């Protein structure tokens, strides 16, 4: 069975979202498109109101994004 390779992991934390670039391609995208991003413990912190536009921009540029389901492990 083939494993899906994701470029980015997004997590809804309520009032903020966490974005983790998992590949060098995703890290380049973040550097180019989110140059003033706040990074905490390797995660880009995003206000909830910006998350949909960022998510759509990543997908438009061909990044594979995963949003884990709460409680799933």
Two structure tokens written together for 6 = 């994701």
pLDDT tops 80 at residue 68 = no
Residue 56: pLDDT band with limits 50, 70, 90: very high
Give the pTM: 0.83
What pLDDT, on a 0 to 100 scale, did the predictor assign at position 5? 87
What pLDDT, on a 0 to 100 scale, did the predictor assign at position 57? 96
Cross-strand partners of 10: 19
Distance between CA atoms of 60 and 64, rounded to whole angstroms? Answer: 10
Close Cβ partners of 12 (under 8 Å, ≥ 6 residues apart): 48, 51, 67, 70
């Amino acid at each position: 069975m083939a494993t899906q390779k994701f470029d980015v992991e997004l997590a809804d934390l309520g009032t903020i979202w966490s974005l983790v670039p998992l590949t060098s391609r995703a890290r380049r995208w973040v550097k180019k498109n989110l140059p003033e991003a706040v990074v905490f413990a390797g995660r880009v912190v995003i206000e909830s109101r910006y998350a949909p536009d960022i998510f759509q921009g990543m997908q438009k540029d061909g990044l594979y994004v995963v949003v884990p389901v709460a409680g799933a492990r």
